[in-house]
Structure 1
């Protein structure tokens, strides 16, 4: 992996954690996938999961205002979360999935959530311990 891409992602994750921490609706933010488990390549996208008490406040326009994310590309519904995909000028793609704190419910753990967690996650902002709780529930 190039040093430039690594530095770009580190700066993005630092920004994302501070941004989430400054929002009253955010119950948690995590990094998932290859970047979380240390297996990313230059062409790997950045997968973020944002748990919000009010996911309805997020739409393409409001998220695109966050210039760190890049330009809005598309959205997809994944049941408990909605994916908002962005691409930065560098070509780095960011997948921001927004859902409620129920995504991290441990009684019972949703099969899709379990797959995401077991594939690798890293908490970026976890004021309520939801991410730590779901990681513990999925361990083993």
Structure 2
């Protein structure tokens, strides 16, 4: 597998209209799914797609905050979301990454964590880095993510 930094310049251009539509469809599907689950208290699009700076080789990065992390310990929880093949799992502090690869080549990284990942008093330095690098709430029924984004502003 080629690392992103090694990819040719052509891969660093803006995503095609088809890729942009694919990303919007995935974000919409995951958002509707999350809205129907009472344990999900926040869904946050982060990274290049959140800051409208995605490239052809960009992945989709999502933070999912839940009151029932055990529900997402099994690799089968995302089967109905059609996110593609699970290609990697990894822990990032309080978040558990689940990276999926679709047949189109698009990768979707879902980072699952507890609601206190979004605490604002104080904001965790790692959380602040993620949020200031680009964050857009997709599902925020109690305003938890909006408060976090406000707290991360200079």
Q: Taking structure 2 as the reference length, what is the TM-score of the superposition?
A: 0.88
Deviations 1:63-105 (CA, angstroms, capped at 9, x unpaired): 2x13421111110001111000000110100000000000000
How far has the Cα of 1:109 moved from its partner? 0.5
Deviating 4+ runs (over 3 angstroms): none
* Structure 1 runs not aligned, ≥5 long: none
**In structure 1, C-alpha distance between the alignment counterparts of 2:55 and 2:69, rounded to whole Å:** 30
**In structure 2, C-alpha distance between the alignment counterparts of 1:119 and 1:16, rounded to whole Å:** 21
Deviations 1:5-38 (CA, angstroms, capped at 9, x unpaired): 0000011111111010011100000100000000
| In the alignment, structure 1 residue 133 sits paired with structure 2 residue 147 | yes
**In structure 2, C-alpha distance between the alignment counterparts of 1:96 and 1:122, rounded to whole Å:** 14
* Structure 2 runs not aligned, ≥5 long: 1-14
Deviations 1:88-135 (CA, angstroms, capped at 9, x unpaired): 110100000000000000011001000000001000000011100100
Q: Which structure has the larger Rg?
A: 2
Partner of 2:101: 87
Partner of 2:41: 27
How do 1:1-140 residues align onto structure 2 when only pairs under 5 Å count?
1-58=15-72, 59-63=74-78, 65-140=79-154
Partner of 2:9: none
Q: Taking structure 1 as the reference length, what is the TM-score of the superposition?
A: 0.97
